[in-house]
Structure 1
């Protein structure tokens, strides 16, 4: 599973401050959300597609695999609006299905927005390390440490929970435990899996709390960081490239 999310090479986007990258991409997502210009939406889609397929550092095979859910969302959202939207110029009608020029254009607009959301999210997830993101949010944007370290602990413990789930499944198979079909089997699986995992999670949370207390962790105290993050020259390059690309997409949509 980890190999799937390992890039073939680290591009310049990996060196951008993750907190700055998060703010810029979040602003672009808001623009995508409120935009109603068809040509501007198409230009934005091309821009974010270039970011994903040219600067994410992953192979085309992995990128196509990651793009499958995004394409499915595009088809479902666009088709729904095309088939059941309202419009004056009717192209084809059959029962509840009514395709008009207006619904078709708005369906494509909605689909482009869906693809843009997916590409922005994908390029951010593939080129950002979650741990560094929360360290950067604490250092550059003064995110309270009690929230940041809570997310960091959750991310760190997720592989452990997955491993325990697999261990529990193997143990039940070795003991010859079989679950009946239907709702009874579902409830038995929930009882056999959730109770031990929940108990282990409580013990693990207690050990983490004791360890943080032993290291004299205080919420409001000024502290040093294991991963120091700062603004560098590549961050300025990133902002300039994104602003120029966005302005070009806007200008081309007006013409």
Structure 2
């Protein structure tokens, strides 16, 4: 399963096609690769389809907005072909429509790849992998982990503050000035509690021998296995194959230039 792949290798696997997809401006390449990403998402992971659709759906609207804006404001390089209709002084051509659809599909590819990574990667394993495989300093790694663990605590404390204010008869204020005062009432106690918690965590880490030294042992040793390289080969290799097929069929378009 993809959830057991080393997070660093998984991140590289996601970044490589994501970066090179931004160079393509045809419809075929991002469409086929999007279908491939969707196929492995629903066959090689335990991601709930309903949960995935709930997260993915808002980005479809964003992608449609990108497509519409790209079709309206395409420059001469991408506004080739027959004029299909005119909106005010904007001429919508075959090239501008293809550019807009391509941009939308690329955006959806980025989202699908990001969800594949985010929904199958444990945050703790990601930080440990960055520290062990990418040699990220332990001070940065454990600092990020500590900050990440504080987020749900801050959410709970904010809820407690709101309930306490409501019990004491402090209602929600309106207007810009009222919103500023309300933000001040919430932010100062949260900031004070955050500083106190950070000091406790720092003292606890020092008392347990944490010095930030890179030469240290780990309770969980993350290694790179053959399975991780297979995953990298599958993701990147499929992208190369899709680009090759697109080039062979005459669809490949890089920055407005067909190959």
* TM-score, length basis structure 1: 0.89
Could you tell me which of 62, 68, 80 is aligned with 1:73? Answer: 62
The 8 Å contact of residues 82 and 107 in structure 1, kept in 2 or not, is answered as yes
Paired position in structure 1 for 2:201: 208
Pair 1:31 & 2:13 matched? no
Q: Which ranges in structure 2 are unaligned for 5 or more consecutive residues?
A: 250-259
Distance 1:211 1:96 in 2: 66
Question: Residues 209, 139 of structure 1: CA spacing in aligned structure 2 closer, same or farther, 3 A cutoff?
Answer: same
Separation in structure 2 between the aligned mates of residue 186 and residue 91 of structure 1, nearest angstrom: 49
For 1:76-225, list aligned pairs within 5 A.
76-86=65-75, 87-88=79-80, 89-225=82-218
Which structure's residues are more often helix, by fraction?
Answer: 1
SS of residue matched to 1:34: coil
Check conservation: 1:78, 1:111, Cα contact below 8 A: yes
What is the CA deviation profile of residues 83-127 of structure 1, one whole-angstrom value per residue up to 9, with x for unaligned ones?
333425321112144312111111011111101110110110000
Corresponding position: 1:14 with 2:3: yes
Check the 8 A contact 1:85/1:98 in 2, yes or no. Answer: no
* Alpha-carbon distance between aligned partners in 2 of 1:192 and 1:51, rounded to the nearest angstrom: 47
Match of 2:225 in 1: 232
What is the DSSP-based 3-state SS (H/G/I as helix, E as strand, rest coil) of the residue aligned with 1:93?
strand
Distance 2:238 2:168 in 1: 60
Q: How many Å apart are 1:231 and its aligned residue?
A: 1.7
The higher-RCO structure (CA 8 Å, 6+ apart) is 2
SS for the counterpart of 2:221 is coil
Shift of 1:219: 2.0
Matched residue, 1:8: none
What does the per-residue CA deviation read over 1:26-53, in whole Å, with 9 as the maximum and x for residues that have no partner? 1121111223343222222222222333
Cα separation, 1, equivalents of 2:61 and 2:43: 22
Alignment size in residue pairs: 244
Which consecutive unaligned segments of at least 5 residues does structure 1 have?
1-11
TM-score (norm 2): 0.88
SS of match in other structure, 1:196 = helix
How big is each residue's C-alpha offset from its partner over 1:165-186, in whole Å with a ceiling of 9 and x where there is no partner? Answer: 1111111111121133111221
CA shift in 2, pair 1:29/1:66, >3 Å = same
CA–CA separation in structure 2 for the residues paired with 1:111 and 1:231: 35
After superposition, the Cα gap between the structure-2 partners of 1:252 and 1:23, relative to the gap in structure 1 and judged at 3 Å, is same
Q: CA RMSD in A?
A: 1.7
Post-superposition offset of 1:225 = 1.7
Separation in 2, partners of 1:39, 1:119: 17
